[in-house]
Amino acid sequence: MQATTIIKNSLIVTPTGVVNGDLAIKDGKIAAIGELSEAAAEVIDAQGQLVLPGMVDAHVHINEPGRSDWEDYHTGSQALAAGGTTSMVVMPLNALPARTTAAEFTRHRAIAEGKSYIDFALYGGLVPGNQADIGPMADAGAAGFKAFMATTGSDEPGDFHNVDDYDLYRGMQAIAKTGLRLSLHAENAILTDRLAADEIAHQHTDIQAYIDSRPPMVEVEAVRRALYLAKQTGCKLHFVHLSTGEAVREVHRAQTEGQDVTCETCVHYLTLNTDDFKQIGPLAKCSPVLRTPAVQADLWQEVQADHVNTVTSDHSPAPAEMKANPNNNIFEVWGGISGAQNNLDVFYDVAVKSGRLNLQQFVQLIAAGPAQLFGLKDKGQLRVGADADIAFLDPNQSYTLRPEDLYYKNPISAYVGRQINCRVTRTLLRGKTIFELGKGFDEQPTGQFLHNHHAMGVAK
């Protein structure tokens, strides 16, 4: 074997433990791990660095086509690459038109190919009235489907609409036939909208009013309802951005009763709480809303108990003016946190450095878990035969995040000003360095479209 690249002197985080040694890459794949003596065209000395599987961020909003001034494939994927992410699963909404037909799916895929610096899979959307588009989107290569039980917060022509219980039920019936999973934004739409209207009617438009309009029960209720409907229809479910331990326990209970259901939480629910929201302001507005320290501690317990399948960014970018709050009305501000560039470092800091998770749990949540969930073959694990998608993390560097560090289209983030006690220094995609701290990006984007290998009809 003549390797193309050898990474020397590293701490390699494999699925079964940490290997102190070398990693050889050939033809974009991991060829060997251990004490290696052979030569290679490229030798990377990783002394002092952790060699991790590149993150698989299973929840990213990219706004191209239609809203490229919010985030496009070029900027979004560069930010992710700089943060050590090598694959993303892209949500079907906030581009215009939203991805809710096979024709749009194919068009979006073609736009991303040639622009994305990292590999990508795409969701198809379930919206009112598009049950007939579900099968064709599965055939076009959808990673899964996404629906909103809450209202989405944007309503221009071509925008994505939430489902009511009827649309959800019919959609689940259609999705069950594809073998793919339905991912849900689970919050009760009627409760959230009317609780918000009550706050506004009382001239309560500060951050506390927004927190009060989305209590934990709106999430838990929606999770319970969706679980019941999924049981009736045999549809596989995935709950995105769960923000409460109580909701995770509902999912876990359904799993123990034999339902095929999984769940996600996000870096911000594990890092920021209601006090941080008040301090940071509108940049930290998202839905579900950030939780109290007590609810956050409960969520952490569920993560530590391995009841959560993946931790993502839910990167939901917007232009700076949509995150400003000129009328002092938090309800008017865009709901979404820009955070994808700081998935790996912020989460490593709060999870591993703080002693809450071990390295095996960490890589399971950021890489192996999401790759398995979305059938991303050969992704998410440092093992022989897998794609050489690798993030180098220096656990001994500290830095304070500045706007000029960010590669987003709009360099704003809830994490600006935060001290982060580790740093991603280099990212490899299928063996090729796509980002190096201080040097920048590879000249050409080489991200490829990823199929879900759990889909019916896709060769294993």
Ligand X SMILES: NC(=O)NC(NC(N)=O)C(=O)[O-]
Q: Which residues are annotated as a binding site?
A: 59, 61, 146, 185, 241, 314
Query: How far is it between the farthest Cα atoms of the chain?
Result: 72
Q: 66: helix, coil or strand?
A: coil
CA distances to 43, 183, 374, 412 from 21, rounded to whole Å, are 13, 39, 30, 38
Task: Tell me the residue type at 190.
Answer: I
Closest CA to 290 of 204, 219, 221: 219
Q: Which does 93 bind (CB under 5 to 8 A by kind): Zn ion, ligand X, none?
A: ligand X
DSSP state letter for 165: H
Q: Establish if 314 lies at the interface with ligand X (CB under 6 A).
A: yes
Binders in 256-295 for Zn ion, by CB under 5 A: none
Closest CA to 44 of 435, 385, 433, 395: 433
Q: Which of 93, 261, 263, 422 binds ligand X (CB under 6 A)?
A: 93
Q: Which does 335 bind (CB under 5 to 8 A by kind): ligand X, Zn ion, none?
A: ligand X
Q: Please, which residue, 14 or 152, has the CB nearer to Zn ion? A: 152
Q: Please, which residue, 36 or 414, has the CB nearer to ligand X? A: 414
Q: Which of 109, 115, 185, 236 binds ligand X (CB under 6 A)?
A: 185
Q: 420: helix, coil or strand?
A: strand
Q: Are 440 and 117 in contact (CB under 8 A)?
A: no
Q: Which does 153 bind (CB under 5 to 8 A by kind): ligand X, Zn ion, none?
A: ligand X
Task: Tell me the residue type at 123.
Answer: Y
Site string for ligand X, 329-348 (x = CB under 6 A): ------xx------------
Q: Residue 197 belongs to what H/E stretch?
A: helix 189-201
Size of the site for ligand X (CB under 6 A): 13
Tokens of 76: 């979004």
Q: Establish if 268 lies at the interface with ligand X (CB under 6 A).
A: no
Q: Establish if 314 lies at the interface with Zn ion (CB under 5 A).
A: yes
Tokens of 368: 């192996």
Closest CA to 145 of 255, 259, 226, 246: 226
| Chain residue at closest Cβ approach to Zn ion | 185
DSSP state letter for 333: S
Q: Which of 109, 185, 238, 418 binds Zn ion (CB under 5 A)?
A: 185
Q: Please, which residue, 14 or 262, has the CB nearer to ligand X? A: 262
Task: Supply the minimum distance, in Å, between the C-beta of residue 61 and Zn ion.
Answer: 5
Q: Which does 369 bind (CB under 5 to 8 A by kind): Zn ion, ligand X, none?
A: none
Binding interface with ligand X (CB under 6 A) = 61, 93-94, 152-153, 185, 241, 286-287, 314, 316, 335-336
